[in-house]
Structure 1
Amino acid sequence: MNFDDKVIDSLDELEAFLLAVESGALGLTNVAGVAMATSNADGRPFVAVLDDKHQLILGRWVSQDVYENGKDLVRYGPKKNLH
């Protein structure tokens, strides 16, 4: 899996990550969606950036609190403007 070492531990950080994905600031290509998930290996929660074949492009670990409270933010997208 393609995970970076950072852990998102606040909803503000999650929103900033989502905005970075949407704006192209992370340099990812073929992004089709974002989802919350848990690792099959150890149950750790993460936010997953997926391509159009539902393959993981990038994952970033999230705290349990962000996992539980950030699902709507991931589902409906950030409210802040990209401009």
Structure 2
Amino acid sequence: MINENDVIDTLDELETFLRLIEAGGLGLNNVSGVALATNNANGRPFVAVLDDNQQLLLGRWVTPYVFENGKDMVRYGTKKPH
């Protein structure tokens, strides 16, 4: 489930999205991970929220910049606020 008009185009937006996922703010069940991926049909990059069976629960398109520069944030998580 990806909204065509909902694109994450800054690292700050990616961080906000990841914090929402980490905090359970989107009401998704059985979230087991987040990954950056590309659509097989057109190569468009997106951030994927995955369940226990590695099935897509939610996806958001990302710009190529966010895809390249947000990998560590997705891999290691966001910095916790003090």
State whether TM-score is above 0.5. Answer: yes
Does the alignment pair 1:34 with 2:34? yes
Unpaired runs of at least 5, structure 2: none
Query: For residues 67 and 3 of structure 1, what CA distance do their matches in structure 2 show?
Result: 16
RMSD of aligned alpha carbons: 1.2
| Percentage identity across paired residues of the two chains | 67
Give 1:17 deviation, angstroms: 0.1
Q: Give, in angstroms, the shift of residue 80 of structure 1.
A: 2.6
SS in 2 for 1:29: coil
Q: Can you list the C-alpha shifts for 1:16-62, whole angstroms capped at 9, x where unaligned?
A: 00000010111111000000000001000000000010000000000
Corresponding residue of 1:20: 20
The runs of at least 4 aligned residues of structure 1 exceeding 3 Å deviation read none
Query: What residue in structure 2 maps to residue 44 of structure 1?
Result: 44
Structure 2-normalised TM-score? 0.94
Distance 1:26 1:80 in 2: 19
Task: Report the TM-score, using the length of structure 1 for normalisation.
Answer: 0.93
Figure out how many residues of one structure are paired with residues of the other and give that number: 81
In structure 1, distance between residues paired with 2:25 and 2:39: 25
Counterpart of 2:77, as a letter, is G
Q: Which consecutive residues of structure 1, in runs of 5 or more, have no partner in the other structure?
A: none
